[in-house]
Chain A
């Protein structure tokens, strides 16, 4: 659109036509105070905080609802405007309690800030304040009515943003009141977006309630450890008797792929980390019982037995199961450890999407995978299978936002009437299990139509849908794990102009586990087991016979040929439904946070740190690589990375070959860093970004990350951007040739919004929300 020129406070500025005055002012650094205005939500014009003087207009105007026009002359700081703001703050404070000392928003409250910057020192109001007691609307949402300033941000974010519409307004004028959808409580997705967006402390969270104050915490930006979408989350961390306690999760700085979005799991379900059932001491099976032991004992025993079994029976007698929730560095290290130290290709993990098939289908074609950001900007999106509202909350948010703000077209092909159909321009409900036929049909095979016609989906409507899809350019196709093996290639090769693809997996680092080669027949980067691969050159002679998958390992253990099993952060017994007694004859080492079904049958259990307690990187299901940062040190646990290295060491392996530490430059140990403020930081970031920081320890994941970036082509991304906390898209099309796998090895996690595998079982918040949902509805009472 054409640029318009206007004058604000004597400054000339240009902005595209259609820009709101408040945004235009912001672009040149003039702040117009606002409460109800929130970018990307509908306009409300409720608070009148943003009043400005526009020449030739008789009265003050609200900058948040005024669109700029050519030659406009605006004053945002005249006496009249200042007086108006002062009166607005005074009115807001008329019935606002003086609660700041006990209010959870105190210290980061917009009303406090406004009163400070624009308010009057005293109030003219003498009347007693109208008090109402605080109400608990759900396990996570509390509402304190007198604190509400009626900006309606919560109502809009819940409705427009979340498409839940659980909050509404009752009454009118001064007696307006925000009300939940079930008289006295909420039935909703418990995402906490309304709490996050509330400018004051009217909506507060049950999880963070009265725990601390904003300035008392350290804030650490890391990546969520639950679903595969990879939201960036800022953890509020406080010291505690175990070392540290995470008290809050949000993304208020709007950095990262998710802007300020987080679902209930990212926002509240970090509390599994503080579960009293966590293991904090290694356990060794003695006389049939798991009993506490020291770390030294445990590592020595694990190392000795692994070494003996390898010597006596060869590497084929050892199985390794990795995790979809450990970092890329740990997965890569595990892959390397298995091949190099144990000498086995029996490496596997719980697969929730067919990434090797996607790698094979996209081989050599870069630019055909979509990032999470692409979902927000694509002109059209096709969703086959899956229910993102439950399983991929961020993906669902991106889709909804794109449809709402950019009028993207969403096409949904699903066997269930999933909620996202409300945003869809085209929806085809196909019979359950017919996703593969849908792919065949979309790829041009009309014979598949017979399997698809169902309920409202007629031949004509399906054909029309396909025609519409073919007419779209720049389509983003997200497909569920039902699309596997040959179907992936069929979908990728169907004739959609400029389409980009996303395979939907289930866990935080499912994609990373696949990328890092936790497969019996693939090395990191989907490289096959050839003798002349980059890895064979770098790591030395590697076994080239494909190893066993998890079910095959169980069978081998039963048959007595698998003598040892090493499980890192996984629960194969529960996930694959294995017979736990299959492994009773094998030596089993398990690294986990809790005594899972798998850990219960182990000979050695090593307490592991979770993703919030270590550093590294995660790759989300789209391939966006992001940093995982350590929130703090916790007593009694070690990272999986350290434990793998320690076991290798106990086996007598030279650790430096496993983790190339001690390299880098030795010239700069901090001495040459500049004296100017910030220079030392900039210097260290620069060194880090260029791989020049010395890797001082064999437990430093960055040493392995250097190697990953060197050997896995799709991970050639900007280190500087990554370190700055930005997401970096890795393109599976640049990876190795991939492979065709047995489709039955893919087992969906079937988590919903309130469950998250093993972690979810130990999260107090998720459990209390679930209990609350299952509880009988309380007697109907009015909301006041």
Chain B
């Protein structure tokens, strides 16, 4: 009797397996899917690699206050501050981050830095393909994290409004 019982149990189990095989696929077809995301999908609030934001004038929002570094539980943010001058204005306030590194070897994507930032300069982007064979490539520099200059502005967003308005092409900035 137990043999029949066992066969019955297997048949019941397999029926679920075969039933599922006939359903449409719900897994993401990453990395073979379509589009720039190669099939990956995630929620808006997904915390990916960071983006350093610019203000409406194209100036960097970060004022090098080190609060993100202080909040970071894995101590992976390194900043060097410097002073803006009239000739070279990088951020909207008196100081800016001359060097801003995040070490993704250590970052746990907790978002504390984003919480801490008083100027909403650092945000989580949706970048996630950070795997590499070289650990030093995981130390991202500011240039890699800065958001691009708004398209309506030139390479030097504050001072060449006039150029852009006169028809000069708005240069794209590296990184994103």
Give the contact stretch, choosing among A210-218, A359-367, A629-637: A210-218
Contact with A along B110-143 (1 / 0, CB 8 A): 0000000011000000000000000000000000
Which residue in B67, B81, B119 is a CB contact (below 8 Å) of A210?
B81
Q: Are A101 and B65 in contact (CB under 8 A)?
A: yes
Pair B65/A102 contact, Cβ less than 8 Å: yes
Confirm or deny: B93 has a beta carbon within 8 angstroms of a beta carbon on chain A.
Answer: yes
Contact with B along A160-185 (1 / 0, CB 8 A): 00000000000000000000000000
One digit per residue, 1 when the CB lies within 8 angstroms of any chain B CB and 0 when it does not, for chain A 198-217 equals 00000000000111110110
Of B69, B82, B83, B119, which contacts A101 at CB under 8 A?
A: B119
User: Chain A contacts of B64 at CB under 8 A?
Assistant: 102, 210
B93-A211 in contact (CB<8A)? no
- Of all chain A residues, the one with the shortest Cβ separation from B67 is A101
Asked if B145 is an interface residue, CB under 8 A from chain A, the answer is: no
Could you tell me the distance in whole angstroms from the C-beta of A112 to the nearest C-beta in chain B? 12
Most buried by B among A209, A211, A213: A213
**Are B82 and A210 in contact, with the CB atoms below 8 A?**
yes
Bound complex: CA A216 to CA B72 (Å): 12
Contact status A209-B65, CB under 8 Å = no
B81 touches which of A100, A134, A211, A215 (Cβ 8 Å) = A211
Contacts of B146 in A (CB 8 A): none
Of chain A, the residue at the smallest CB distance from B94 is A102
Query: Would you call A106 an interface residue if the criterion is a C-beta within 8 Å of the partner chain's C-beta atoms?
Result: yes
Question: A213 touching B82 by the CB < 8 A rule?
Answer: no
B63's partner among A102, A211, A215, A216 (CB-CB below 8 A) is: A102
B-contacting residues, A98-115, CB 8 Å:
100-102, 106
Q: Mark A90-130, 1 if CB is under 8 A from B, else 0.
A: 00000000001110001000000000000000000000000
Contact status B83-A210, CB under 8 Å = yes
With contact pairs A101-B118, A102-B94, A102-B95 given, residues A213 and B65 touching in the complex (Cβ less than 8 Å): yes
What residues of B have a CB within 8 angstroms of the CB of A213 in the complex?
Answer: 65-66, 70
Could you tell me the distance between the alpha carbons of A211 and B83 in the complex, rounded to whole angstroms?
A: 9
A93 to B64, CA, bound (A): 23
* Smallest CB separation, A103 vs chain B (Å): 9
Distance to closest chain A CB from B118 (angstroms): 5
A492 to B118 alpha-carbon distance, docked (Å): 64
B113 to chain A minimum Cβ distance, whole angstroms, is: 14
The reply to whether B95 and A212 contact each other, CB–CB distance below 8 Å, is no
* Distance to closest chain B CB from A143 (angstroms): 14
Contacts of B67-90 to chain A: CB distance below 8 A:
67, 69-70, 81-83
**Which residues of A are found within 8 Å of B83, using beta-carbon distances?**
209-210
Which of chain A's residues 214-245 have a Cβ closer than 8 Å to chain B? 215-216
A216 to B66, Cβ gap below 8 A?
A: yes
Contact B67 A212, beta carbon cutoff 8 Å: no
Instruction: Report how far A130 CA is from B63 CA in the complex, Å.
Output: 22
Shortest beta-carbon distance, B122 to chain A, in Å? 12
Q: Give the docked Cα–Cα distance between A100 and B63 (Å).
A: 11
Interface contact B118-A210, CB-CB below 8 Å: no
Tell me, in angstroms, the Cα distance from A106 to B95 when the chains sit together.
13
Residue of B nearest to A211 (CB): B81
B69 touches A216 (CB 8 A): yes
- Tell me the minimal C-beta distance from A334 to chain B in angstroms: 39
Asked if B70 and A101 sit within 8 Å, CB to CB, the answer is no
Per a CB cutoff under 8 Å, which of B65, B93, B94 touches A106? Answer: B65
Is there contact, CB below 8 Å, between A100 and B118?
yes
CB distance from A590 to the nearest CB of B (A): 35
Within 8 A of B (CB), among A69-106: 100-102, 106
B101, chain A: closest CB distance, angstroms: 12
Expressed in whole angstroms, the minimum distance between the Cβ of B65 and any Cβ of chain A is 4
- List residues of chain A with CB within 8 A of the CB of B95: 102, 210
Q: Shortest distance in angstroms between B126's beta carbon and chain A's nearest beta carbon? A: 26
Residues of A within 8 A of B63 (CB): 101-102
- In angstroms, Cα B81 to Cα A343, docked, is 53
**Once bound together, how far apart are the Cα atoms of A368 and B74, in whole Å?**
56
Residue ID in chain B nearest A209 by CB atoms: B83
A101 touches B93 (CB 8 A): yes
Question: How distant is A24 from chain B, measured CB to nearest CB, in Å?
Answer: 36
Contacts of A101 in B (CB 8 A): 63, 65, 67, 93, 118-119
Chain A residues whose CB sits within 8 angstroms of the CB of B82 once the complex forms: 210
Flag if A212 contacts B118 (CB, 8 Å): no
Of all chain B residues, the one with the shortest Cβ separation from A98 is B118
The answer to whether B65 and A212 touch across the interface, beta carbons within 8 angstroms, is no
Q: Which residues in B have their C-beta under 8 angstroms from that of A216?
A: 66, 69-70
B81: chain A residues at CB < 8 Å are 210-212
- The interface residues of chain B lying within 8 Å CB-to-CB of A106 are 65
Report the minimal beta-carbon distance from B106 to chain A, rounded to whole angstroms.
Answer: 16
Q: Bound complex: CA of A134 vs CA of B83, how far in Å?
A: 13
CA distance A210 to B81 in the complex (A): 6
User: Looking across the interface, which residue of chain A has its beta carbon closest to that of B98?
Assistant: A210
A209 to B94, CA, bound (A): 11
- Chain A hits for B94, CB < 8 A: 102, 134, 210
Closest to B82 in A: A210
The CA of A216 and the CA of B66, in the complex, are separated in Å by: 8
C-alpha gap A212/B118 in the complex (Å): 17
User: In angstroms, how far is the closest chain A Cβ from the Cβ of B73?
Assistant: 14
| Chain B positions within 8 Å of A102 at CB level | 63-65, 93-95
In the complex, chain A residues whose CB is within 8 Å of the CB of B65: 100-102, 106, 213
Q: A100-B118, A101-B118, A101-B119 are in contact. Are A212 and B93 (CB under 8 A)?
A: no
- B70 / chain A contacts, CB cutoff of 8 Å: 213, 215-216
Most chain B beta carbons < 10 A, residue from A102, A106, A210, A211 = A102
**What's the least CB distance linking A477 to chain B, in Å?**
49
Q: In whole angstroms, what is the CA distance A101 to B117 when docked?
A: 9
B66: chain A residues at CB < 8 Å are: 212-213, 215-216
| Residues of B contacting A211 in the complex (Cβ-Cβ under 8 angstroms) | 81
A102–B92 CA distance with the chains assembled, in angstroms = 11
Output the least CB separation between B82 and chain A (Å). 6
Give Cα A209–Cα B64 distance, bound, in whole angstroms. 12
* Residue-wise interface mask of A (128-139) relative to B, using a CB-CB cutoff of 8 A (1 in contact, 0 not): 000000100000
Cβ contacts under 8 Å, B119 to chain A? 101
Q: Mark A367-405, 1 if CB is under 8 A from B, else 0.
A: 000000000000000000000000000000000000000
Assembly CA distance A216 to B77 (angstroms): 11
Residues of B within 8 A of A212 (CB): 66, 81
Bound CA–CA A134/B64 (angstroms) = 19
Give the residue name and chain of the A residue nearest to B81 (CB).
A210
How far is B68's CA from A215's CA once the two chains are assembled, in angstroms? 12
Q: In chain B, what residue has the closest Cβ to A144?
A: B94
Cα distance A216–B83 when bound, in Å?
A: 18
User: A378 vs B81: C-alpha distance in the bound complex, in angstroms?
Assistant: 47
- How far in angstroms is the closest Cβ of chain A from B3? 62
In the assembly, what is the distance between CA of A165 and CA of B64, in Å? 35
User: What's the Cα separation between A1 and B167 when bound, in Å?
Assistant: 84
> Which residue of A has the minimal Cβ distance to B92?
A102
Min Cβ gap B69→A in Å is: 7
Distance in angstroms between the alpha carbons of A211 and B66 in the assembled complex: 11
Q: List the A residue with the shortest CB-CB distance to B84.
A: A210
Residue in A closest to B91 when the chains form the complex, CB atoms: A102
Report Cα–Cα, A100/B67, bound state, in Å: 10
A724 to B32, CA, bound (A): 65
CA distance A118 to B130 in the complex (A): 46
The interface of chain B, by Cβ under 8 A from chain A, is 63-67, 69-70, 81-83, 93-95, 118-119
Task: Give 19 CB contacts A-B under 8 Å.
Answer: A100-B65, A100-B118, A101-B65, A102-B63, A102-B64, A102-B94, A102-B95, A210-B64, A210-B81, A210-B83, A210-B94, A210-B95, A211-B81, A212-B66, A213-B65, A213-B70, A215-B66, A216-B66, A216-B69
A interface residues with partner B (beta carbon < 8 Å): 100-102, 106, 134, 209-213, 215-216
- Closest 8 pairs between A and B when the two form their complex, measured CB to CB: A101-B65, A213-B66, A210-B95, A102-B93, A210-B81, A101-B118, A102-B94, A210-B83
Task: Beyond the given A102-B94, A216-B66, please list 15 additional residue pairs across the A-B interface where CB-CB is below 8 A.
Answer: A100-B118, A101-B63, A101-B67, A101-B93, A102-B95, A106-B65, A134-B94, A210-B81, A210-B95, A211-B81, A212-B66, A213-B65, A213-B66, A213-B70, A215-B66
